Structure formats: C-alpha cells, structure tokens
C-alpha cells in the first residue's frame, strides 16, 4: 500500500459540495428495489416562499440520519422531497410586493395575480432546494413534488368530490376565525393565541321590569352592538327571578332576553354574560341551543357594517371600541375597567388580531374520519415516539370540530364547485363545467374560493406517490414507513394525514410517528426574528460544516425534550468531525510500504476493539430503529473517540513501531478493517466526512476506486451488524482491567504534574488471574501508561493482599483498583517537597469549599426553597470535594 494524504486541517468546504454532487451523479438517493424490504419517508413540505430556519434544519437532519441508516441496511429507501404552496403566506408575499408599487391584487385581476405568484414560487424554490443540498439531505430529487403540481391537484379534486359524494363535505353559514387583513377564514389550528395586555370593562344593562340593572363584564365592549341575549347559570340563586325577563341593550333600542345555560360560570365575575353569537364561538353554540337570532356586525375587512347604529358604521374595531366606551360613560352604563392579560387570537401568517365572523364556508365533517383514525391507533397501526403524544392525538380526535376548508384567496386549489344563477343549485365536479348539470343553464360561476393549504398537505403521503393513479411507486412505497415532524403540527397535519390515508386508501399512511421537540435558545425561548435569537442553518454550515451541524442536533435531541442551543453548541459536532479527520489522517499517512494480510491473527487488544465495535453497532442499530437519535450519537462519540482513538489507535503503535514487518502488516490490516467498519457506523450521523475518508481508505487499499461504480460509495455500503463471532465479553473484561490500571497511573501522573516524556516506575500487586493478563500485555500497559519499568508481584490466589511484600514501597504512592494495587514511584519522577506543598494548598482550598457547601446545605431555607436539581448538584459537589481531599491526604501520607 501507499500512504494517502488527507489535508492537514479539516475543512468541509473543500469536499462537501463535491461529495453531494457525486451522490447525485451516481443515483445514490434513488431506491433500489429487490433488497431487504423498503423504507419510505415523505418530507414535511416547507412553505415554498420560506427560508429554512433551525427548526427545519433539525427536522431534515433527523430524517436524513434515519434514511441513511435504512439505506445502509439494504432496504429500498425513498425520501420524497417537496414544497407546499402555502396559500396565505405566499399570497402575502406577492401582495406586499404589489403594495410597494402602489397596486393591489384587484388591479391585476385573478389570472395575472396567479401568474405573478408562480414567478415568486420559482424564485424561492431554488433557494430551498439549495439549502437542503447544503445540509446533505439525501432526498430523491427525481421524485420531487409541489402541492400545486398537476398530479397533486388531481388528487385534491378527487378527494374534494369524493367527500362531497359521501356527505362528508358541506357548505353552510358558520362562525369562523376571520383575518381582516388577509380577508379569509382560518381553521382553529391556524390561530396563534398570545397572552396580550387588555382590559375588562364592567357595564350596566338596565332591567326592563324596572328593578335596577344587571352588571356584566367584557373585554370587547364594541361587540355589544351584536348582542342578542344575556345569560346566567340556571342554579345561580342571585338571578332566579331574572331568567325569562328582559334587559335593555345600551346604545340601541333593542331588548334582550335573559336565558339560563350551564355554559355560564357562576363563580366568575358577576355570573352574568352577554351573548354575541356572531362574534364568539361559545356564544354561537349557546345561541343554537336557545334559538337566538344572530347579528353579524362586521364587514370582511374588519369594519362595522350596516347592522349597527349609523354612528358606528364604517369604523374599525379599534375606533368603534373608543366610541362605544365614550357613549357608555355618557349614558351611565359604564361602571369600571380593570387591567388584565388574556389570550388573544392572531393570524398565524400576518399576525392580525382574529375576529370571530359569521360567513358561508365549506366544511369537512371530521367526526366520522376521526373515529377511523382513533380505531387505527388503538389497533397499533400507528405508533408515536415518544408515546406521550398519543394522549394529545387521542384528545384532539375525541373533541374534534368540523374543519373549515375554504379560504378567500386567489393562490391555491380553486374549489371545484359551480353555482347556477338560474336554478340556484351547486354542482361539484371532477372536471370543469360549462353548463349546469341540474338545469342545463350556462349561467354558472365557479366558486371563487380556494382550499385551505392543509387540504393538499393531508394527502401528502399518497398523493406524492401518484394517487389517485395506480402507480408503481404507490404499490412499492405506500404506506410510508415513518413520519418525522415537530409536535406543533400534530393537529394541523399528522392526525389529518392519518384520517385521509384511511379514508382514501384504506391504510394508515405511515407506521412510525417520531415527534421531536422545538429548537429554543439557551434561555428556553422559542427562536424568532422579534427576539433576535434565531440561528441560520446555512451560516452554521458555512462555519462548522454540515456534519457538525447534523451531529450536534442529533446529540442534543433527546426524545420528548426541546433542544436548547446557541451558536457555541455546534462546536461539539465540529470537534468530533475534526477528531475523526485527524485520527484517519494519522492512519492513512502511515501506510507506506505496508501490505494487507489475509486472515490476520488477532491479539487481545484486537479482540477487544472488535467486541466494542460489535456492541456499538448493536446499540446504534437499536437506537436508530427506535428514533433515539441522541443515544445513537452519544454511542458513536463514545466508541470512536474513546475506544478507537484514545485506546486502540494508541495501542497499535506498539506493533507499528515493531522491527517485524509481518507484525506491522498484521496490525495495519486489522487497524484498517476496524477503521472501515467504524466509518460505516458513523456515516448516518456524519455523512460527508465519512464518505471522504472512505474514498481515501479504498484508494489506499486499491479497492477499484477508478471504476466509478456505486460500490465505492459509503452511502450505499452495508451498515455494521452484530456478530456473535466478534462478541467477546472476556476480551472486554480483560482489557477493562488494563484500562483501569493505565487510567489510575495516568491520573496520578497528571495530579503530580509529571511531564508526558518522563517515564515512571510502577509496581503492581495483584491476584494470579489478573497477573497472567498483565504479564501478557506488559509492553502495551507500559506504552499506554507512560511507564518505564513495570514490576509485577503476583499472589498465589486471586487476592493481591497475599502477594509477597505487602508493605508500600518507600517513595511510592498507591492507587487501588478492582483486584489490584499499583505503586507509582513518584519520588523518582517529581520533587516531593514541591509536590507536598501543592497538595497541601489544594487540600486547604477543598477544606474551605467543603465548609461553604456544608453551611449552605445546613440552611433549612436553602433546602426548602431551592430547586431539587440545585440541591442535588450541591450535594454532589460536596461528595466530590470530600473524596478529592481524602485522596490528597493519603498522597501526602504516602510521601512521608
């Protein structure tokens, strides 16, 4: 073999783009049928006008890791990419551009506006695709989809019409969440509720029977213009005589009935509630129970309409509130106001305050669909990781409301319904209509609304594979295997996809649902532009590399927990990638003149590393299969950094410095084999650096790299499997003893500030079984422990205390392990007087530290008021300080 050079410094910029292009060129991300089953993931489609934030970075990194793992298992692995047309968000982008030019969408007209929106889509799509490539997403770009492409649009229309035919879709006047700015209805899930400062206004409504007035409170006094009743609890003794009576509605000439309903909380406020059915969802439900009239006081742009007294018509809600309050005070109806904080609904896109609004919309009947989704989950057809999210899923489905699916937008899937002006009927059709199927009139008009963006997204797992056509992809890859998403869209997307999959394919759309946490800053705050605490994934990739980015997120992603990160966090992944690079560089640059050996004999240290590799492979497989990303990442880190680099590579130096060429070849052969398997183990977590090293490793071994065949690529190699042949608990137990001995000696050397170059003399007293192991590995222990002279005193049995010379040798310090004592002759390697002074100073520091901790832990107020984790941490510090001080006192005694 010949030496292969890696650059001295790890610089991912020099190879990441090249490697991604190579993967693409070789078709590495396309599924290969005929293997060990299949594994399918569909990407949660990002908004086409968005830019990927750190949450997207986490989500796509986790998908990439599990996809790469299953691809290496030999499964036909498909990761489908795609983007969402994002109706409201994308339309807002275009409307803002038009506004900057002094135009509105109405100036362009519907057709021209949609054309302009397609242009914006194309601009942003290229940005998102490049971002996914930069973070290394191994998606099959040849199967990329868009929610407004021809195939998905056909699926959307098929579903809409089928729901209508099954009486699961209807149109009606209902109270909806309305965004006055976007001019459209929103579903409950598209409303962000934020704690907002406000006021509670206490008002008087006079009783018609002349017995004074009733006091009630409201946060929205302007809505009283739409009141149609006042309600009390039927068991509230204060108002028994009031039920069935009437009160006068201030500022109007209307009278309101007083009704009794258990919705009213008699313990809250005055126990009297104003009922405004058109502008409050709870009031809407109460109005249906009592047959109350419904008065809508708002126009679609959020202004007061003609159903209010003339004075207030045309005012905005804010203006109307000020005017109404002024008139209430003037009329003696105002009592007082209180400062409060309450949850106010905002549009999840433009952040405008939401108004409950009565309008005609299309709705999907959700209860029949939800019952099927619940039954599927109870049968175990879908499994949540972690399981706690099943409670959220169950609660939402059991309390589901009908879904408002129409949106008053121009960008999106146009509703396939036509209204006839002559016969007044509505026709829903899979194909565009030119005449009314009921009366034959050509005087028909298509519904102007579009469908909620989520209406296309809930079909994503099967529409992306070709449904409603009976495609090969649908046969081969549906149901998909896993869904990886954040918990904030369980309602928006996850549950709805399960409902749609069951209703239209008869199968749950995926088996595994991995719900990861949100990425937050170190203070636990959600990342946002307003707080200025966001992190750009591409900036992190530019600085640290895609592997460091991906590994850090996996390492920190514990099931069921949010991730608290800052920029510094990504140094962890960068240091690990750098460690891999440097370790492999050292190995590859020392191959000159070496030859590979067939079936090399294994020494004890070789058996140990193979067994450790075996255990790591088993643990990482199990972690990946159960979506425990942090466990997989931590095991990878522990194995490669500690077992392979710190112990095995160091141990091989004994053979590689040998004068025996055959021994050098034997050791090199084993070392390269272990390295190759280790690189495979790490690949799902750090794909770029491992692929680059794997190529260099193959070049060193001459494994046909110049053929250009796919076999040279690590991304399609086989993942290491657990092997009984390599499983060697005895080798691990024996080497653990040697590690403990070496670690104790190394620690003592460090505590005594003995330079690495200086060798120490060590006497080890131990039992017969361990004596045999140490005797067979003397040179290895000397190398690893920085030991010049190693003396072994073996007892007749396994008790080191029975060995000859039980007294501690003069000039030595004893360290004790399991089944052995080691005496390190410090006097020969250090200045004992200076050492005693150092230990004495350290003991004094520990004594003061222990006293302060004991005082704190003896304070009842601290124990009672401090968080339990803080108390536990202080107790741990105390134990560690006491142990450290006790050890130093023994050292000083031994040096006497």
The domain tally of the chain equals: 5
Q: Do residues 203 and 89 share a domain?
A: no
Of 674, 692, 727, which one is at a domain's C-terminal end? 727
Per-residue pLDDT reduced to its tens digit, 558-570: 988 999 999 999 9
Classify residue 188 by its DSSP letter: G
Residue 359: band (very low, low, confident or very high) from pLDDT cuts 50, 70, 90 = confident
Partner residues linked to 232 by β-bridges: 260, 272
Q: Which helix (DSSP H) or strand (DSSP E) does residue 457 occupy?
A: helix 453-457
Residue 176 has pLDDT above 90, yes or no: no
Q: Do residues 512 and 593 share a domain?
A: no
Q: What is the mean pLDDT of residues 378-394?
A: 94
> Where does 291-330 have alpha helices with state H?
317-330
Q: What is the pLDDT of residue 735?
A: 96
Residue 291's SS3 state is coil
Q: Do residues 344 and 196 share a domain?
A: yes
Residue 808 has pLDDT above 90, yes or no: no
Per-residue pLDDT reduced to its tens digit, 504-522: 999 999 999 999 999 998 9
How many angstroms separate the CA atoms of 840 and 837, rounded?
5
How many angstroms separate the CA atoms of 219 and 202, rounded?
9
Q: Do residues 819 and 841 share a domain?
A: no
Q: Do residues 143 and 202 share a domain?
A: no
Return mean pLDDT, the chain.
91
Residue count of the chain: 896
Q: Do residues 688 and 738 share a domain?
A: no
234-243, 344-353, 645-654, 683-692: the lowest-pLDDT one: 344-353
Q: What is the pLDDT of residue 197?
A: 86
Q: Do residues 664 and 787 share a domain?
A: no
Query: pTM for the complete prediction?
Result: 0.85
Cα-based distances in Å from 533 to 380, 541, 549, 554: 40, 17, 17, 21
Q: What is the mean pLDDT of residues 661-688?
A: 97
Written in H, E and C, the secondary structure of 606-659 is HHHHHHHHHHHHHHHHHHHHCCCHHHHHHHHHHHHHHHHHHHHHHHHHHHHCCC
Domain that includes residue 99, residue range: 34-168+367-401+452-516
Residues of the binding site: 529
How many angstroms separate the CA atoms of 555 and 103, rounded?
49
Per-residue pLDDT reduced to its tens digit, 117-148: 999 898 888 889 999 999 999 999 999 999 99
Residue 802 has pLDDT above 50, yes or no: no
Residue 709 has pLDDT above 80, yes or no: no
Asked, for residue 447, whether it belongs to a domain, the answer is no
Q: What is the pLDDT of residue 708?
A: 38
User: Phi then psi for 347, rounded to 5 degrees?
Assistant: -60, 130
Beta-strand relationship, 820-824 and 813-817: antiparallel
Q: Do residues 801 and 847 share a domain?
A: no
Asked, for residue 28, whether it belongs to a domain, the answer is no
Asked, for residue 651, whether it belongs to a domain, the answer is yes
How many angstroms separate the CA atoms of 450 and 452, rounded?
7
Q: Do residues 72 and 104 share a domain?
A: yes
How many angstroms separate the CA atoms of 61 and 68, rounded?
11
Domain harbouring 799, CATH code: 3.30.2320
The residues near 164 (Cβ < 8 Å, ≥ 6 apart) are 428
Asked, for residue 89, whether it belongs to a domain, the answer is yes
Residue 173: band (very low, low, confident or very high) from pLDDT cuts 50, 70, 90 = confident
Asked, for residue 460, whether it belongs to a domain, the answer is yes
Q: What is the mean pLDDT of residues 620-649?
A: 97
Per-residue pLDDT reduced to its tens digit, 187-218: 666 777 777 888 999 999 999 998 899 999 99
Domain harbouring 594, CATH code: 1.10.730.10
Q: What is the pLDDT of residue 800?
A: 58
High-pLDDT (> 70) share of the chain, %: 97
Q: What is the pLDDT of residue 797?
A: 57
Q: What is the pLDDT of residue 183?
A: 73
Q: Do residues 620 and 589 share a domain?
A: yes
Domain harbouring 203, CATH code: 3.90.740.10
148-157, 195-204, 367-376: the lowest-pLDDT one: 195-204
High-pLDDT (> 90) share of the chain, %: 74
Asked, for residue 543, whether it belongs to a domain, the answer is no
User: Phi then psi for 860, rounded to 5 degrees?
Assistant: -60, -35
Q: Do residues 622 and 709 share a domain?
A: yes
Q: What is the mean pLDDT of residues 441-456?
A: 95
Asked, for residue 417, whether it belongs to a domain, the answer is no
Q: What is the pLDDT of residue 355?
A: 81
Q: Do residues 698 and 587 share a domain?
A: yes
Per-residue pLDDT reduced to its tens digit, 818-833: 999 999 999 898 888 8
Specify the higher pLDDT residue, 529 or 378. 378
Partner residues linked to 41 by β-bridges: 79, 482
Q: What is the mean pLDDT of residues 497-501?
A: 98
Asked, for residue 591, whether it belongs to a domain, the answer is yes
Classify residue 270 by its DSSP letter: T
The residues near 181 (Cβ < 8 Å, ≥ 6 apart) are 302, 347, 350, 352
Q: What is the pLDDT of residue 710?
A: 41
Residues of the binding site for ATP: 529
Partner residues linked to 760 by β-bridges: 787
Cβ(813)–Cβ(895) below 8 Å: yes
Helix 546-556 and helix 537-544, axial crossing angle in degrees, nearest 10: 110
Residue 33's SS3 state is coil
* Backbone CA torsion sign across 614, 615, 620, 625: positive
Residue 804: band (very low, low, confident or very high) from pLDDT cuts 50, 70, 90 = very low
Contacts by residues 886-894 (CB-CB < 8 Å, ≥ 24 positions apart): 888/839, 888/842, 888/843, 888/846, 889/843, 890/814, 891/751, 891/813, 891/839, 892/836, 892/839, 892/840, 892/843, 894/808, 894/812, 894/813, 894/814
């Amino acid at each position: 073999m010949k030496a292969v050079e890696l650059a001295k410094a790890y610089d991912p910029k020099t190879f990441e783009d090249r490697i991604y292009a190579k993967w693409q060129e070789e078709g590495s991300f396309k599924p290969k049928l005929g293997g060990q089953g299949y594994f399918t993931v569909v990407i949660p489609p990002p908004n086409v006008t968005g830019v990927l934030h750190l949450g997207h970075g986490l989500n796509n990194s986790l998908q990439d890791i599990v996809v790469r793992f299953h691809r290496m298992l030999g499964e036909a692995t498909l990761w489908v990419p795609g983007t969402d047309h994002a109706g409201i968000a994308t339309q807002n982008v275009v409307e803002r551009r038009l506004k900057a030019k002094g135009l509105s969408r109405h100036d362009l007209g519907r057709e021209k506006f949609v054309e302009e929106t397609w242009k914006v889509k194309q601009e942003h799509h290229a940005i998102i695709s490049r971002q996914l490539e930069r973070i290394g997403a191994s998606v099959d770009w040849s199967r990329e989809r868009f929610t407004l492409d021809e195939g998905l649009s056909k699926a959307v229309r098929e579903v809409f019409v089928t729901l209508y035919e099954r009486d699961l879709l209807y149109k009606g006047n209902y109270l909806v969440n309305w965004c006055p700015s976007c001019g459209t209805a929103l579903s409950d899930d598209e409303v962000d509720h934020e704690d907002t400062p406000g006021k509670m206004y206490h008002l008087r409504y006079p009783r018609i029977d002349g017995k004074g007035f009733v006091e009630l409170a409201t946060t929205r006094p302007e809505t009283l213009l739409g009141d149609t009743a006042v309600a009390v609890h039927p068991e509230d003794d204060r108002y028994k005589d009031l039920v069935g009576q009437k009160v006068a509605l201030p500022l109007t000439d209307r009278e309101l009935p007083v009704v009794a309903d258990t919705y009213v909380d008699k313990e809250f406020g005055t126990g009297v509630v104003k009922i405004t059915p058109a502008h409050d969802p709870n009031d809407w439900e109460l109005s249906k129970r009592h047959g109350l009239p419904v008065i809508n006081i708002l126009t679609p742009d959020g202004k007061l309409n003609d159903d209010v007294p003339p004075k207030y018509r045309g005012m905005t809600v804010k203006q109307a509130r000020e005017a109404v309050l002024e008139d209430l005070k003037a009329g003696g109806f105002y009592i007082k106001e209180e400062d409060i904080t309450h949850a106010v609904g905002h549009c999840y896109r433009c952040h405008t305050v939401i108004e409950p609004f009565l309008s005609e919309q299309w709705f999907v009947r959700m209860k029949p669909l939800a019952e099927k989704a619940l039954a599927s989950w109870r049968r175990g057809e879908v499994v949540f990781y972690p399981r706690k999210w099943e409670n959220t899923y169950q609660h939402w489905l059991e309390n589901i409301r009908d879904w408002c699916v129409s949106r008053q937008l121009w960008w999106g899937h146009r509703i396939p319904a036509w209204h006839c002006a002559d016969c007044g009927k509505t026709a829903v059709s899979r194909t565009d209509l030119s005449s009314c199927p009921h009366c034959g009139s050509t005087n028909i008009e298509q519904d102007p609304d579009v469908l909620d963006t989520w209406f296309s997204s809930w079909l994503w797992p099967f529409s992306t594979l070709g449904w409603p056509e009976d495609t090969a992809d649908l046969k081969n890859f549906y149901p998909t295997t896993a869904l990886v998403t954040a918990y904030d869209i369980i309602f928006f997307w996850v549950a709805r996809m399960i409902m749609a999959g069951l209703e239209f394919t008869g199968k749950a759309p995926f088996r595994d649902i991995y719900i990861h946490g949100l990425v937050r800053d170190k203070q636990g705050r959600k990342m946002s532009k307003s707080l200025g605490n966001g992190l750009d994934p591409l900036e992190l990739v530019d600085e640290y590399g895609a592997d460091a980015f991906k590994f850090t997120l996996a390492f920190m992603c514990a099931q069921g927990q949010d991730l608290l990160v800052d920029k510094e966090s990504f140094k962890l992944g960068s240091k690990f990638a750098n460690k891999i690079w440097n370790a492999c560089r050292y190995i590859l640059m020392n191959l000159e003149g070496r030859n590979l050996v067939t079936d090399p004999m294994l020494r004890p240290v070789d058996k140990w590393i193979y067994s450790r590799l075996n255990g790591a492979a088993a643990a990482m497989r199990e972690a990946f299969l159960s979506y425990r990303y942090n466990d997989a990442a931590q095991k990878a880190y522990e194995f490669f950094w500690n077992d392979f680099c710190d112990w095995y590579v160091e141990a091989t130096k004994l053979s590689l410095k040998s004068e025996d060429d055959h021994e050098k070849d034997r050791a090199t052969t084993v070392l390269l084999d272990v390295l190759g398997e280790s690189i495979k183990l790490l690949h799902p977590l750090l794909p770029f650096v491992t692929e680059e090293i794997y190529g260099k490793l193959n070049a060193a071994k001459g494994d046909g790299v110049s053929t250009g065949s796919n076999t040279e690529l690590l991304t399609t190699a086989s993942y290491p499997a657990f092997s009984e042949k390599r499983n060697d608990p005895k080798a691990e137990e024996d080497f653990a003893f040697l590690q403990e001995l070496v670690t104790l000696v190394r620690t003592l050397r460090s505590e005594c500030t003995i330079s690495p170059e200086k060798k120490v003399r060590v006497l080890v007293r131990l039992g017969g079984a361990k004596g045999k192991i140490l005797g067979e590995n003397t040179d290895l222990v000397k190398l690893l422990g920085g030991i010049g002279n190693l003396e072994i005193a073996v007892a007749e049995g396994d008790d080191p205390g029975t060995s000859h010379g039980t007294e501690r040798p003069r000039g030595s310090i004893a360290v004790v392990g399991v089944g052995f004592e080691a005496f390190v002759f410090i006097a020969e390697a250090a200045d004992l007087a200076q050492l005693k002074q150092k230990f004495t100073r350290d003991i004094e520091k520990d004594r003061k530290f222990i006293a302060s901790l004991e005082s704190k832990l003896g304070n009842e107020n601290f124990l009672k008021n401090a968080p339990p984790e803080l108390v536990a941490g202080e107790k741990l510090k105390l134990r560690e300080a006491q142990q450290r001080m006790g050890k130093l006192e023994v050292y000083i005694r031994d040096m006497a």
